[in-house]
Structures are given as C-alpha cells and as structure tokens.
A = this chain, B = another copy of it.
C-alpha cells in the first residue's frame, strides 16, 4: 500500500472490546492508523483493564460520550446489540464520521442502518472481518488474528464512494483482504461457508457425545479439528444463526440429504459410489487449500 493509499483517523471508538474489538484496537495502534482510541463497554471491571492497556486512551460506560467527536466508530458487540445501537449512534455520531460494524450477518444490520443514517451526514457501511476464534474475550486479543484474513465490506447502493474506499483502506491497513459484496449476497454465502459449518460442528459434537465419554479423549486430530468451532460462544452464535435462519434452512436440508445418500451407499456397500462421493468432496476441499 503506497503512502497516498493509507488512511488515518484522529479518534476511533471501539464499541465492545471483546476478542475482535480489542484486536482491532491493538492493530489500529500498532499500525499508527489512529491517534486516539476510545472504548465503550458495559462492564466497569473491564473499563479499568482497557485503560491500563497500551492501545486505549479512554473507556466509558456511556455510549453517547464514547462516540461523540470520533471520526470512526466500529461496532464490535454481538449482532443483536449492534442492531440496538444503530439508531442511537445515528443521533450521536459527528458529521462525516464513518461508522462500521463487525457483525457476521449483514442484511438486517445494513437495512436498519440505511433507514437511520439516511437523514445523517455521517456514513454507515457494514463490514465483516472474518477473524473469529472459538476463544472469547479481550485477554486473547492480538493484531495477528486479523492479518491475512478476509474482510467483507457490504456498502449499500447509496453508499458514499469515498467512504467505501476509506473503509476498505482501513481493513487493508490492518492486513486484511477486502472483498465487496451486497449484504443479502453476503448472508447467503455465510449461511454456507460459515454458519452451516458451525451448526454441523455442534451437531457432530452432540452426536459423538452419545458414545462412551470416558473414551472420547482417544480421538485423533480429525475429531478435534472437525468440531473445534463448536467451542464458540453459544450466546453469540445463537444470535448469528437466528439472524440468518432463513438462509440456513436450505443448507441444513442439503446436509441431511447428503447424509442420507451416504447412509444408502453404505447400506448397499456400494464401493464405487462411495469412492466417487468422497472423491468429489475431496476435490472441493483441495480447492480451499489452493486459495489459502
């Protein structure tokens, strides 16, 4: 990125300094993208932890105070809270302030933001930095979790072009690979490549628990990797899965159909069919490695 492509802010507000919010804060400071970082949070105990950190100048339990006067606001709370914060922030954000969020489901967030920000001089454009973890909380924060990861930006048709460029440069400045998608298209894609895998990992874990739990530790890396994301935060993930439930239903149906097909193939002990099924899955999976 050349000098003229870089982006900078006087003051950034992180709303919700969890794993992702705090990692973004850390990264913004490390890269010198902002002079100051203010934080909004609900927990008085975490307020002290934030102010002791080397990336946060000021932490407050007052959302209005946190966002007033900032030139970038990043909503890093769970999806349901983001939806609640939009209307308030539309009232409080300074003119020319850029507001974005990190929610994993974008249609409802972007629709609500379009509604509330249409009369404002500030700009809301949705983001989805794909840098989650099954770990939660500020204590695991690290600029590294963003580096090299994908970030999807979902501007509406009415979005200010300059602000879309500014937002893209922000994420690129943190080492992320930015792709622009329509919010509806984003949610459909995520239902397949993120939300269905999460749901399947949870179902597999529940299924495996049917067996002798005293021997489950004998499993190899296969089970551990296949189920890793089932350790994710149930509250956060239930919000995500519910937000995207209409898109997800089709994915669950296809998954069940595939399982039933395999069950039938095994029932007939049809080896050529089984090899062909596994081979076609392998070919898809191998493509994921090529794109890494």
Residues of A within 8 A of B (CB): 130-132, 149-150, 152, 179, 181, 188-189, 192-194, 196-213, 215-220, 222-232, 234-235, 237-238, 241-242, 245, 248-249, 251-256, 258-260, 262-263, 266-267, 269, 271, 274-282, 284-289, 291-292
Contact = CB atoms under 8 A, between A and B. Distances in A.
- Identify whether the interface residues of A are mostly helix, strand, loop, or mixed: helix
A277 B280 CA distance: 31
Nearest to A222: B229
A229 B251 CA distance: 20
A150 to B, nearest CB: 5
A280 to B, nearest CB: 7
A252 B263 contact: yes
Contact of A262 (B131, B203, B226, B262): B203
Nearest to A200: B204
Contacts of A194: 219-220, 222-223
B266 A210 contact: no
Contacts of A224: 288, 292
Contact of A234 (B152, B204, B220, B278): B278
A217 B130 contact: no
Contact of A220 (B132, B207, B216): B132
A235 B271 CA distance: 9
A212 B229 contact: no
A258 B206 contact: yes
A238 B282 CA distance: 12
24 contacts: A149-B220, A150-B218, A188-B211, A192-B211, A193-B220, A203-B262, A206-B284, A209-B280, A209-B284, A216-B284, A217-B287, A217-B291, A225-B226, A226-B227, A227-B285, A230-B278, A230-B282, A231-B286, A231-B289, A238-B271, A241-B266, A245-B269, A249-B267, A256-B260
